[in-house]
Amino acid sequence: MSRLMLLSCLMLLGVGCAGTKAHTRAGESALPLGYRGGEPLVVDGAFITGPTSSLIIDDNAMRGRFRDIPVSLAWTWQELTGTVGPNTTKLELAEGDDTRVWGSFAGMPVDFILEGDWLYGRVGTCLYVMQRNEGGFKGRSNCGNPLEEYLQVAFPAPLLERPLGEKAALMTLMLANVATMNSPTVGMARFTRPRSVIDAPVKNRRY
């Protein structure tokens, strides 16, 4: 084999390895996401899979299908935008002493805060107040039912270390999965109905 051909093969091999590395997280095994009453999701590096979900995270974007609905999202350090089904998604992001996400996701109002070990806010008609525990968050949810329900969701610690836009996308998927399964008025079929009015920010509410 000539020196030129050998050099070309090594360059191609390097590109292939770099592309593979872009879709992995060093030392990170497959991680559960969400809760057992909804779509059971697994995050494996840059891939998110479930019985009816298949998503990939590529640079600052997420695309694929979530519960058989097309998803195309992209983010910066200030916002997350794109489409879920036929509806636009626009979330504002802020990170400092806490992490805040607000706006709309697939036509549903979103407004939640991660503050220390506490996660509270709303997605759709569901309200959440949960505290960090081993493997995720545990607390209460209220989706319009007469009684609040205890809720345990999986969100392992390595996912909290991901960049803001990616972390916000994963947390929104997690809570949207809960909301669409538990709310009597919001379901995946409602994703086709746009909602233009967002209620007052959750940070002005008391729980």
- Single-letter amino acid code for the residue at 95: E
Phi, psi values for residue 158, rounded to 5°: -60, -30
Q: Assess whether pLDDT exceeds 70 at residue 2.
A: no
Express each pLDDT in 162-204 by its tens digit.
Answer: 999 999 999 998 888 776 655 444 344 444 333 333 344 444 4
Phi, psi values for residue 181, rounded to 5°: -90, -30
What is the rounded CA–CA span in Å between residue 139 and residue 129? 6
How much is the average pLDDT of 59-75?
A: 95
Torsion sign over Cα 200, 203, 204, 205: positive
For residue 150, what pLDDT is reported?
Answer: 83
Q: Assess whether pLDDT exceeds 90 at residue 125.
A: no
Cβ(84)–Cβ(66) under 8 Å?
yes
Q: Assess whether pLDDT exceeds 60 at residue 27.
A: no
Considering only residues 42 and 39, tell me which one the structure prediction assigns the higher pLDDT: 42
For residue 205, what pLDDT is reported?
Answer: 42
For residue 120, what pLDDT is reported?
Answer: 95
For residue 36, what pLDDT is reported?
Answer: 74
Tokens 């996912």 locate to 159
How much is the average pLDDT of 52-74?
A: 95
Q: Assess whether pLDDT exceeds 60 at residue 34.
A: yes
The tokens for 44 are: 């494996």
User: Residue-wise over 127-158: b if at least 16 C-beta within 10 A, else e?
Assistant: bbbbebeeebbebbbbbeeeeeeebebbbbee
For residue 180, what pLDDT is reported?
Answer: 65
Q: Which helix (H) or strand (E) holds 58?
A: strand 53-58
For residue 176, what pLDDT is reported?
Answer: 85
Express each pLDDT in 4-24 by its tens digit.
Answer: 443 344 333 343 343 433 444
How much is the average pLDDT of 100-123?
A: 95
The tokens for 149 are: 């329900």
